Amino acid sequence: MASQKIDKQMKELAQLAYERDLSRCIDVLHAQMREWKEGRMTVWDIEQSIHEFHNKIARGLYRSYAMNDTFLAVAFGVAQEVLSIDDIPESEKAKIQSVAESINRGVKHE
């Protein structure tokens, strides 16, 4: 019974992380659209941003959250800082934190 409850919580957290991360990325696109409307970007620049969002960003997020194991999706959400480790069920915190740290170590910072 507890396992089913944890599974349900993890699925909900994965969905929440996906929604938050997608919203964060759409906010960036929205800001670029404002720049276009204010004449600080060309229509071609915004068209390129929309294309990049659709073909790279949105698809990447879909693969990370919707096509991934729920556990990995939640860990990715923690790594992306769209979920707090405090959101995670106690029984899963240590494992999620470890995987999230591994994900962040794999990201190359410039």
C-alpha distances out from residue 76 to 26, 32, 45, 96, Å: 18, 26, 30, 9
C-alpha distances out from residue 93 to 33, 69, 98, 103, Å: 38, 16, 8, 15
Quick: pLDDT tens for 90-106.
Answer: 999 999 999 999 999 88
Quick: pLDDT tens for 32-71.
Answer: 999 999 999 999 999 999 999 999 999 999 999 998 899 9
The DSSP code for 90 is G
Buried b (16+ CB within 10 A) or exposed e, 75-91: bbbbbbebbeeebbeee
